[in-house]
Amino acid sequence: MTTCSPRVADLAEDQRPRERLWSLGAEALADAELVAILLGSGRPGQNAIDLARAILIEHGGPAGLARLDAVALARVPGIGVAKATRIVAGLALAGRCGAEYVRPVVAGAADVARLAGPWLLHRRRERVVAVICDRRNRVIAVVPVAEGAAHAASFPLREILSEVLRRDGDALAIAHQHPGGDPTPSQMDRATTRALAGAAHTVGVRFLDHVVLAGEAWRSAHDPP
Determine the pLDDT at residue 114.
Answer: 94
CA atoms within 13 A on the CB side of 147: 4
pLDDT given for residue 224 in this prediction: 58
pLDDT computed for residue 1 by the predictor: 39
d(CA 56, CA 50): 10
Residue 152's alpha-carbon distances to 125, 126, 174, 211, 225, in angstroms, are: 8, 6, 15, 15, 19
120-176 pLDDT, tens digit per residue, is: 987 888 889 999 999 999 999 999 988 875 455 578 899 999 999 999 999 999 999
| Of residues 191, 78, 202, 201, the one with CA closest to residue 210 | 191
74, burial (CB in 10 Å: exposed 0-12, middle 13-18, buried 19+): middle
Q: How far is CA 85 from CA 31, 59, 72, 89, in A?
A: 18, 17, 11, 6
> CA-CA distance, 48 to 78, in Å (whole number)?
9
Q: Please give the chain's pLDDT, 225 residues, in tens.
A: 346 777 887 788 788 888 999 988 888 889 999 999 999 998 888 889 999 999 999 888 888 888 888 898 899 888 999 999 999 998 888 888 776 667 899 999 999 999 999 989 878 888 899 999 999 999 999 999 888 754 555 788 999 999 999 999 999 999 999 988 899 999 999 999 999 999 999 999 999 999 999 988 999 998 655
Angle in degrees, 0-180, between the axes of helices 157-166 and 187-202, rounded to the nearest 10? 40
Q: Check the CA dihedral 82-83-88-93 and report its sign.
A: positive
In sequence order, what are the beta bridge partners of 105? 138
The radius of gyration of the chain from alpha carbons, rounded to an integer in Å, stands at 24
Q: Please give the pLDDT value at position 2.
A: 47
